[in-house]
């Protein structure tokens, strides 16, 4: 008799405990994604059309490359510091706020220089004007207030994060819908990109004040700031590489093929990458339990890592199969009035399989952090970024946006399995490769 087994080594209570403690954060993530999906991936593309939607998407794409400079890796570090030293709350938050504000100021010249560099050498002019990109770059400064998010995480008050994120996204969605119904121009929607971030910061400030706290009590502490900078720069550098790795294809599509193709590809990326919060949530939930066996039972530690990789494959492959099947019907249903978007279905059928390697890479990143091998994370991400750039240069001229999807798929594979190249992580890389054939699942199906 056939049955789908539970994966060995995982206690179902671990899932229940995680989702109980983190349900608010998950609701915030899922709720925000649903709102953004409806507005940004369905309504706006149909209203703006391929070319104008590409112009709308462009400023945030450029900005994404430099958000690592803006935050300087402070998010997770501040949460950890607040848990360790709650009495230094105002000094920690004040120091992190100033770091992020200065980081935002430093990022601005890089944004502007990159824009002019692309405008000077790319075959096609950038999809958005410099004025539009410069206006949206204000986000680099606004994001400094979002350090309050780390405070709520440290206080285990995820419900406030949920209120802020879902409330802000609902308000942003309403404003965009007003723009659609009133026939607003592109500049209105470019303006709304800044409002999207502004609402979030206002929400964080409001709920922070509701806790009888005040940002005016924040104080800069040079010792804390130095510690945050010392610990945060590798994370910031990694964030920049990740952005190159995940977003460079969109800039190259605009440069080589124009704004309309960027608009089509942007919808593909939205549908494909919206699932990437799942491996983060599962890895965060399960990895502490796995680490408990590192010293006492190395064999079980290895087995549980194999279980984790196999779980990632099961989920990601299931998503990829479903999306591959429904993609043509989805695009025909949602974009029948905009035929330029219909080619996106074939692109999505390829791009969605990148998620298999993204899921595995996320799980193995937990291992690299636990083993203090974060330098390999930087190398792996850099390899992915370089691979993506080279493949896009080769494939986009020959295959169009399908070439970009193929390049992304191969680059994700290279990045995920590059840990096989290093002796310290080769065993983990082989476990990841083995997980692709789902050995435990196959055994379980035929077990009576």
pLDDT (mean) for 391-418: 94
Which pLDDT band, with edges at 50, 70 and 90, does 81 fall under? confident
**Taking the model in full, what pTM does it have?**
0.82
Cα separation of 168 and 155, whole Å?
A: 21
| Gap between the Cα atoms of 445 and 413, Å rounded | 28
Please, which pLDDT band fits residue 269 given cuts at 50, 70 and 90?
A: very high
Range of lowest pLDDT (99-103, 186-190, 227-231, 236-240): 236-240
User: What's the pLDDT band for 443 if we cut at 50, 70, 90?
Assistant: low
Cα angle at 277 between 401 and 115, to 5 degrees? 45
Q: What is the DSSP string of 6-75?
A: PPTT--HHHHHHHHHHHHHHHHHHHHHHHHHIIIIIIIHHHHHHHHHHHHHHHHHHHHHTTHHHHHTTHH
Q: Name which residue leads in pLDDT, 435 or 297.
A: 435
Is the pLDDT higher at 277 or at 139? 139
pLDDT in tens, 299-332: 777 888 888 899 999 999 999 999 999 999 999 9
Quick one: angle between helices 259-273 and 222-257, nearest 10? 130
Residue 447: the pLDDT is 54
Provide the CB-side half-sphere exposure for 6 (13 A, CA). Answer: 7
More confident residue, 10 or 161: 161
Residues 6+ apart with CB under 8 A from 198: 142
pLDDT number for residue 26: 64
Condensed to tens digits (0 to 9), the pLDDT of residues 175-199 reads 999 999 999 999 999 999 999 999 9
* Range scoring the smallest mean pLDDT among 159-173, 354-368, 382-396: 159-173
pLDDT > 50? residue 448: no
Q: Which contacts of 271-274 are long-range, i.e. CB under 8 A and separated by 24 or more positions?
A: 271/37, 271/41, 271/323, 271/330, 271/348, 271/352, 272/323, 272/348, 272/351, 272/352, 272/354, 272/355, 273/246, 273/355, 273/358, 274/33, 274/37
Average pLDDT score over residue span 122-148: 93
Enclosing H/E stretch for 354: helix 354-370
Please compute the mean of the pLDDT values over residues 16-26 and round it to a whole number.
54
Higher local confidence (pLDDT), 12 or 198: 198
What's residue 314's pLDDT? 92
């Amino acid at each position: 008799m056939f049955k789908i087994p539970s994966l060995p080594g995982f206690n179902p209570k671990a899932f229940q405990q995680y989702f109980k403690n983190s349900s608010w954060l998950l609701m915030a993530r899922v709720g925000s994604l649903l709102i953004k999906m409806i507005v940004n991936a369905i309504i706006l593309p149909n209203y703006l059309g391929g070319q104008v939607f590409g112009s709308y998407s462009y400023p945030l794409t450029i900005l994404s490359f430099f958000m690592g400079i803006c935050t300087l890796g402070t998010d997770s570090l501040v949460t950890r510091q607040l848990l360790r030293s709650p009495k230094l709350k105002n000094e920690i938050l004040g120091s992190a706020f100033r770091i992020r504000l200065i980081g935002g100021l430093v990022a601005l010249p890089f944004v502007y220089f990159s824009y002019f560099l692309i405008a000077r050498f790319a075959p096609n002019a950038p999809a958005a004007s410099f004025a539009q990109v410069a206006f949206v770059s204000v986000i680099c400064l606004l994001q400094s207030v979002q350090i309050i998010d780390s405070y709520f995480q440290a206080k285990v008050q995820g419900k406030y994060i949920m209120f802020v994120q879902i409330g802000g996204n609902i308000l942003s969605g309403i404003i965009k819908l007003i723009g659609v119904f009133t026939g607003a121009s592109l500049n209105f929607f470019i303006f709304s990109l800044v409002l999207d971030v502004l609402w979030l910061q206002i929400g964080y400030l409001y709920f922070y004040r509701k806790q009888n706290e005040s940002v005016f009590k924040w104080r800069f502490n040079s010792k804390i700031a130095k510690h945050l900078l010392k610990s945060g720069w590798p994370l910031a550098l990694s964030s920049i590489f990740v952005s190159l790795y995940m977003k460079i294809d969109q800039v190259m599509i605009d440069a080589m093929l124009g704004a309309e193709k960027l608009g089509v590809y942007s919808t593909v990326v939205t549908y494909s990458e919206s699932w990437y919060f799942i491996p983060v949530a599962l890895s965060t939930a399960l990895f502490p339990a796995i680490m408990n066996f590192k010293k006492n039972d190395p064999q079980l530690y290895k087995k549980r890592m194999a279980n984790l990789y196999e779980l990632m494959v099961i989920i990601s492959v299931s998503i990829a199969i479903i999306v591959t099947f429904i993609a043509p019907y989805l695009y025909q249903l949602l974009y029948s009035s905009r035929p330029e978007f219909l080619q996106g279905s074939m692109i999505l059928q390829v791009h969605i399989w990148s998620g298999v390697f993204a899921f595995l890479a996320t799980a193995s990143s937990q291992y690299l952090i636990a083993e203090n091998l974060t330098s390999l994370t930087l190398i792996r991400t850099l390899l992915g970024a370089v691979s993506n750039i080279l493949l896009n240069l080769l494939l986009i001229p020959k295959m169009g946006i399908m070439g970009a999807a193929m390049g992304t798929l191969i680059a994700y594979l290279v990045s995920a399995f590059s840990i096989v190249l290093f002796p310290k992580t080769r065993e983990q890389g082989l476990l990841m490769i083995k997980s692709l054939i789902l050995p435990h699942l196959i055994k379980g199906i035929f077990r009576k």
